[in-house]
Amino acid sequence: MQQVLTREDPSWKSALSYVKDIYVITDKSNGKLYIGSASGNTDGIWQRWAGYAHLENLTGGNKEFNNIVLKNGRAHIQEYFQYSILEIFDTRTKSEIIIERENYWKSVFDTKKHGMNHN
């Protein structure tokens, strides 16, 4: 993901900018999941995932990921985090619908109790 976002490959950037989504980030070291969404921005998945792939941050502003970096270092995220898309939506899809689906997936995977979601 970092290579695609760093190079800003036009085909990937275009494809990821025109869709919103529900995604899951898996910490392969312990199996914990984080469910998130790209629901409110105008640049779709591209904008959200660019925050996670920024080499100087890697957390996208996520408090749990910041704690992981403080405890285990940035290399932990680079080595063990895997990013996957669960659902894709048109950019015209209302944020409320996407948030509702995000909450559905959090419930399915019980990520508030056994994962990395805190909301």
CATH number of the domain that 77 lies in?
3.40.1440.10
Tally of CA atoms within 13 A in the half-sphere of 105 that contains its CB? 20
Question: Which pLDDT score, from 0 to 100, does residue 17 have?
Answer: 82
Does the pLDDT value for residue 4 go beyond 80? no
Q: How confident is the model at residue 47 (pLDDT cuts 50, 70, 90)?
A: confident
Residue 48: pLDDT band by 50, 70, 90 thresholds? confident
In this predicted structure, what is the pLDDT of residue 1? Answer: 64
Query: How many domains would you assign to the chain?
Result: 1
pTM of this prediction exceeds 0.95: no
- The answer to the question of residue 56 being in a domain is yes
Residue 112 located in a structural domain = no
- Dihedral (C-alpha) 77, 82, 100, 96: value to the nearest 10 degrees? 70
Residue 115 included in any domain: no
- Structural domain boundaries, residue 67: 2-101
5 pLDDT more than 70: no
